Chain A
């Protein structure tokens, strides 16, 4: 977990809208980490990216991070095949579980080919 770079503890950033479940369980802060994709779930009401992060001691943390629903993400170039198991990616979270569980909300993912997958919250409103 040492590799996790906390860019800012609490940011005055826009809170992403996540369907009807709300954001009360999430602490808004930006966290950046490198990991290996284990699964990309293209599901409603939200998509999930699962990835493993290894710390300096070789310990692996299994992260699960949610993103918006497919109806929104398709407008930003996402598909059900955007992420593949085994890919090395750089994940930026916009929030993490207040409880400290390895669960977060996605802001962007940098793919191995240099493509930055992200959702512009201001588009389409």
Chain B
């Protein structure tokens, strides 16, 4: 019995010493000023959805990095089970893109992702890759989307204007108009997009004929469900859904969205270092 007690004591001491030797900090979700995001009480119940109101600071509700989408659009990732309805041109264009992730992933020296050199990430990829903090602000004539990634914004006009049929000047983030289809559902339509951007991190292509439709449905005070569809007859034979009711959760209004910029000099340093990694 004494031996057993002695052995137990030694084991406990050893475990204690090991625990002291390696202290791991528990993960704490913090904002840009390093302030922890308070957890909601277990019995917390969100209030009702306000009408015609998306304003607030949001991030993926499932987790703060649930919007990373490394292998492509969350609901249509580039894997062995999801096959996009490419046109011949779409397939050919996709094969010319050399992403770092997905079924067509290549080693870094062959990667031709335009974001590698900090070309603008563009729409819809701003929603389909590294979607983190998102502040939504409304004015009488616009809904403004302010993104953590790349610290860019998009403006969705709500003053009744219509999208033109032709665009003389395609834009990285396109031209957007929106409307409320009911008290809690806002639909934004975007066209006039620059063809140089990729749809997602897996290199899915788009043409100048791309139409993005985003449906923001306010479920309650704390949750928006976002559905994003891709319609591009040049590249795809039918519409496809990139995000299907992707949940965004409301953050405290004191949450500071941290800076997450693609700096050309830092990216160049990264690319140089990685180029060293693949030298034979």
Contacts and interface: CB of A to CB of B under 8 A. Distances in A.
Instruction: Tell whether A pairs with B.
Output: yes
A47 to B, nearest CB: 10
A44 B115 CA distance: 12
Q: Describe A's contact surface by its main secondary structure.
A: loop
Nearest to B109: A25
A74 B22 CA distance: 19
Nearest to A113: B23
A24 interface: yes
Contacts of B64: 75, 124
B23 A101 contact: no
Interface in B1-50: 20-25, 27-30, 34
A99 B130 CA distance: 29
A115 B263 contact: no
B278 A97 contact: yes
A101 B201 contact: no
B167 interface: no
Interface size class of B (residues with CB under 8 A): 35 or more
A11 interface: no
Nearest to A119: B27
Contacts of A21: 100, 108, 111, 113, 116, 270, 274
Contacts of B274: 21, 25, 103
A59 interface: no
A99 B278 CA distance: 5
Interface stretch (A2-10, A29-37, A64-72): A64-72
A20 B25 contact: no
B77 interface: no
Nearest to A111: B23
Contacts of B136: none
A125 B273 CA distance: 28
Contact of A24 (B30, B34, B105, B130): B105
A57 interface: no
Given A25-B107, A101-B279, A124-B65, A20 B100 contact: yes
Given A77-B27, A114-B22, 13 more contacts: A21-B116, A22-B105, A22-B111, A24-B100, A43-B263, A44-B262, A64-B276, A70-B260, A74-B30, A99-B277, A99-B280, A114-B20, A115-B22
23 contacts: A19-B70, A20-B99, A20-B100, A20-B201, A22-B100, A43-B266, A44-B263, A44-B266, A46-B270, A48-B273, A71-B258, A77-B28, A79-B34, A97-B278, A101-B276, A103-B277, A114-B22, A116-B23, A116-B24, A117-B25, A118-B24, A123-B63, A124-B65
Interface of B: 20-25, 27-30, 34, 62-66, 68, 70, 99-101, 105-109, 111, 113, 115-116, 129-130, 132, 148, 201, 258, 260-263, 266-267, 269-270, 273-274, 276-280
